[in-house]
Amino acid sequence: EIYLKGMTGAVPRLPADPSRLAEMAAARLGPGPVGYVAGSAGSGSTERANRAALDRYRIVPRMLRDTSRRDLSVELLGTRLAAPLALAPIGVLSIMHPDAEAAAARAAAAQGVPFVLSSASSTPMEQVAEAMGDGERWFQLYWGKDREVTKSFLDRARSSGFTALLVTLDTPLLAWRPRDLDQAYLPFLRGVGTANYFTDPAFQAGLAKPVHEDLDAAVLHFVRMFGDPGKTWEDLAFLREHWDGPIVLKGILHPDDARRAEAAGMDGVVVSNHGGRQVAGSIGAAEALPGVVDAVGDRLAVLFDSGIRTGDDVFKALALGARAVLLGRPYAYGLGLDGQAGVEHVIRCVLGEFELTMALSGHTDAARLTRDALA
Ligand code: FNR
């Protein structure tokens, strides 16, 4: 399609290369928004490890195997996805673009990939659901101290058509993130990242005065209940009791934790280190993937994120045993640069390159990639 349009002299507005996309975002959007997305924990060593871990695996292409028909679809959490990709939960997307989560969600729906909405959305979940029509959507829970708010979030998500629940376990506290510290986390503190909370009846019930009458008190209440480092595996029973759809634990890096997820009746895990934004000095997420797949991969849905930039990254994650991947930072840059169209561009580039990578290395079925494809 791009080459054909090129015949008329039209070239794409955004680059196909994710590094150039990030550079363009840095140049056009400025240090505040880009610092929020690009920032990671400590000196950035985990984010670098994510890339190094994926780069260590190399694809070994095979020749003369009819690849004229290709199937990107995969079976996951009881549904068939057109492609092994979903948009990762990213909080406060209003920092990148005024249309924020609604634009990203519409892009996902238009491209037929699931959208995972963050608890820390700058748009209430009901509005995001409305923007998506019947597009597949999953809700990401930040599992805070207030049980009533958690229950209310689950009720709202269920009635807004979110089918699966992703529970992020790696963020009971916000990590040491120098770029956010240097900005004093202003976007959050101004309240833009808290629309799901501020519009929530259970959250509002915990306030002495309405949000608009005492914003400082509301923000303080939010900060106090947002994370809960006291949670343990036993607490998962509460979520199992209040959510009847699939539950996926996000942030699993150890095979024993994957086994505990299974024992707790969970349906899947996301092997992820939050894009290197939580524990500095941790292993690259792709290093953890084979061990988790070996532990639970034939019984639980294993998803992967942290470092996915290109189609060959998707290929490697699937060959290592992930059922699907979550795409993070690249779509946030696409959103910042060109709203919904920018996100669609990024999704199409990654999937286009993934399909070509499969075909050129001799594979036709995304659901059947195995480690044999890698060295
Ligand atoms: C995130 N991530 C994240 N995860 C989550 O569960 N809830 C959230 O609200 C957020 N917010 C968020 C904001 C920003 C700016 C980024 C970059 C990431 C983590 C996200 O879902 C995913 O795990 C990472 O983005 C994967 O890393 P890469 O591939 O983007 O580097």
- Give the bridge partners for 249, in sequence order: 167, 269
Ligand 1: centre distance to CA 191 (Å): 19
| Phi then psi dihedrals of residue 117, to 5 deg | -90, 130
The answer to whether the CB of 91 falls within 8 A of the CB of 193 is yes
User: Which residue lies with its CA nearest to atom 12 of ligand 1?
Assistant: 90
The answer to whether the CB of 160 falls within 8 A of the CB of 129 is yes
User: Which residue lies with its CA nearest to atom 3 of ligand 1?
Assistant: 90
Joined tokens for residue 171: 């963020």
Domain limits for position 150: 2-57+79-362
Examine residue 69 and state whether it is found in any structural domain, yes or no: no
Give the pLDDT score at 192.
62
Joined tokens for residue 370: 């195995």
Give the pLDDT score at 59.
98
Closest ligand 1 atom to Cα of 274: 23
What is the full per-residue pLDDT of the chain (375 aa) written as tens digits?
A: 888 999 999 999 999 999 999 999 999 998 888 999 999 999 999 999 999 999 999 999 999 999 999 999 999 999 999 999 999 999 999 999 999 999 999 999 999 999 999 999 999 999 999 999 999 999 999 999 999 999 999 999 999 999 999 999 999 998 999 988 888 777 666 556 689 999 999 999 999 999 989 988 998 899 899 999 999 999 999 999 999 999 999 999 999 999 999 999 999 999 999 999 999 999 999 999 999 999 999 999 999 999 999 999 999 999 999 999 999 999 999 999 999 999 999 999 999 999 999 999 999 999 999 999 999
Ligand 1: centre distance to CA 3 (Å): 33
| Phi then psi dihedrals of residue 108, to 5 deg | -60, -45
Examine residue 374 and state whether it is found in any structural domain, yes or no: no
Among residues 212, 221, 254, 274, the one annotated as catalytic is 274
Residue found by looking up tokens 């002299």 in the block: 9
State the DSSP code for 282: P
The total domain count for the chain is: 1
Examine residue 355 and state whether it is found in any structural domain, yes or no: yes
Closest ligand 1 atom to Cα of 273: 23
Examine residue 267 and state whether it is found in any structural domain, yes or no: yes
| Burial grade of 158 (CB within 10 A; 0-12, 13-18, 19 or more) | middle
CATH number at residue 252: 3.20.20.70
Q: What is the DSSP string of 24-36?
A: HHHHHH-HHHHHH
Joined tokens for residue 124: 């209430």
- Give the bridge partners for 75, in sequence order: 80
CB half-sphere exposure, 43, CA atoms < 13 A: 2
Ligand 1: centre distance to CA 112 (Å): 21
> What is the C-alpha to C-alpha distance for residues 220 and 357, in angstroms, rounded to an integer?
49
State the DSSP code for 210: -
Examine residue 68 and state whether it is found in any structural domain, yes or no: no
Angle between helices 311-319 and 45-56 (to 10 degrees): 70
> What is the C-alpha to C-alpha distance for residues 215 and 201, in angstroms, rounded to an integer?
16
User: Which residue lies with its CA nearest to atom 2 of ligand 1?
Assistant: 90
Ligand 1: centre distance to CA 271 (Å): 13
> What is the C-alpha to C-alpha distance for residues 60 and 375, in angstroms, rounded to an integer?
6
From the list 315, 332, 323, the residue with the least C-alpha distance to 372 is: 315
Q: Does the annotation count 274 as an active-site position?
A: yes
Collect all residues with Cβ–Cβ distance below 8 Å to 154 and sequence separation of at least 6. Answer: 141, 165, 239, 242, 243
User: Which residue lies with its CA nearest to atom 4 of ligand 1?
Assistant: 89
Examine residue 368 and state whether it is found in any structural domain, yes or no: no
Closest ligand 1 atom to Cα of 91: 9
From the list 318, 324, 333, 295, the residue with the least C-alpha distance to 368 is: 318
Examine residue 322 and state whether it is found in any structural domain, yes or no: yes
- Is 40 in a helix, a strand, or coil? coil
From the list 289, 241, 229, 244, the residue with the least C-alpha distance to 50 is: 289
Angle between helices 311-319 and 285-296 (to 10 degrees): 40
| Phi then psi dihedrals of residue 173, to 5 deg | -140, 150
Give the pLDDT score at 180.
86
Ligand 1: list residues with CB < 6 Å.
Answer: 36-37, 88-91, 118, 120, 140, 168, 250, 272, 274-275, 277, 305-308, 326, 328-329, 332
Collect all residues with Cβ–Cβ distance below 8 Å to 270 and sequence separation of at least 6. Answer: 166, 248, 249, 250, 251, 252, 303, 304, 305, 326
Give the pLDDT score at 238.
98
> What is the C-alpha to C-alpha distance for residues 325 and 214, in angstroms, rounded to an integer?
41
Give the pLDDT score at 11.
92
